[in-house]
Amino acid sequence: MKYKILVFLISILFLINIVAVASPISNMLRKTETTNFDDPVPTWEVGDTWTYTFDNFTVDYDYGDIKIFIDGRIDDFKWSVVDASGTDYLVEFTGEITADSYEIYLPLSSSILHVTGSIKPSRTSLSGTIVFTKSDLEMKDLSAELKGVVGAKINQIPISIPIPFKITLNSSLSAVFPIFDFPLSDDKYWNLPALDITSNINVGGKFGLIKIPFTLTTSYSWIPFAFHCKPKTDVTVEAGTYSAYNIESTFFDMFDYYYAPSAGNLVKINAIMPNGAASGELKSTNYS
């Protein structure tokens, strides 16, 4: 049972890592576009919020006898600036996860354990924090907690079994992740640094009776001109129509997102990973 819960929750980590998807400027440039051919880093303030809808995410993991597939969405994925007093921004996030179906195959002794079920937003909660640098809105640190109850059917047993769980994640980065490189301008390129992301994870029962600690490490090699900022284009999302830069990964088909200066943040996100994908857009914001 512990192993079954562990592997299921590892697959949920992909959602958190979606999460995902922050140089000081004088107050005169606060939340405005320049009249030149570039746009400076925005200034965030405590109380600024952005809410996203990820209407599609999938996890499709296949390694030997272990197979994991999840098809779902994240609603009301809200970012809130809670501290801007230092050289970084502290952003809290919350979200509601729904998965109409998940399917897991696990080797168990001489047989294969087959688990299927669903994830209901009323039974789970996602929360955490992200640290962004003020200088370039680069991602510096991430922590998250996902807890609740999932329904599961095991092999041919027709009864859905409720499984309470809690997972906590604390990730440290050997270098900041350069989502942006301000000031942004047409056809600007920047590099991806050599980067190690180490995630210390605890999974187990919802009330802390069972804790299984482990560590995951993801490494990226240095890639020159890894990101390309294309000219602005009009992008219509649930929150409205924005003039936004299209930023994409140049040599690896992973990221394709849109940054709108008037929103001070991303307004549309597409991510394609080796074992899954996610797409979302801005639902609402109070940034002005």
User: Which of 188, 180, 179, 178 lies closest to 38, judged by CA?
Assistant: 188
Number of other residues whose CB lies within 10 A of the CB of residue 259: 25
Amino acid letter, 216: L
* Chain segment 225-279, per-residue pLDDT in tens: 999 999 999 999 999 999 999 999 987 778 899 999 999 999 999 988 767 788 9
State the CATH number of the domain containing residue 208: 2.40.128
**Which residues span the domain enclosing 257?**
2-285
Q: What pLDDT is recorded for position 154?
A: 74
Instruction: Report CA 81 to chain centroid distance, whole Å.
Output: 16
* Chain segment 179-219, per-residue pLDDT in tens: 999 999 999 999 999 999 888 877 666 655 556 676 777 78
Range 46-53 average pLDDT:
98
* Chain segment 155-174, per-residue pLDDT in tens: 767 777 787 778 788 989 99
CA–CA distance, 179 with 194 (Å, rounded to integer): 14
Least confident of 16-30, 97-111, 208-222: 16-30
Residue 248 parent element (H or E): strand 240-249
pTM score of the predicted model: 0.80
CA–CA distance, 185 with 138 (Å, rounded to integer): 17
pLDDT(127) > 80:
yes
Q: What pLDDT is recorded for position 25?
A: 29
User: Which band of pLDDT confidence, cut at 50, 70 and 90, is reported for residue 19?
Assistant: very low
Buried b (16+ CB within 10 A) or exposed e, 28-40: eeebeeeeeeebb
Q: Which residue has the tokens 């056809």?
A: 187
User: Which band of pLDDT confidence, cut at 50, 70 and 90, is reported for residue 24?
Assistant: very low
Q: What pLDDT is recorded for position 21?
A: 38
The number of domains in the chain is: 1
pLDDT(14) > 50:
no
Q: Which residue has the tokens 């087959």?
A: 114
Per DSSP (E only), the strands in 38-160 are: 38-39, 49-63, 66-83, 88-108, 111-119, 124-133, 139-154
pLDDT(1) > 70:
no
Q: Is 80 exposed, middle or buried (0-12, 13-18, 19+ CB in 10 A)?
A: middle
Q: What pLDDT is recorded for position 59?
A: 75
CA–CA distance, 205 with 165 (Å, rounded to integer): 4
User: Which band of pLDDT confidence, cut at 50, 70 and 90, is reported for residue 105?
Assistant: confident
Q: What pLDDT is recorded for position 67?
A: 78
pLDDT(11) > 50:
no
Report the share of the chain in percent with pLDDT over 90. 46
Report the share of the chain in percent with pLDDT over 70. 80
Q: What pLDDT is recorded for position 209?
A: 56
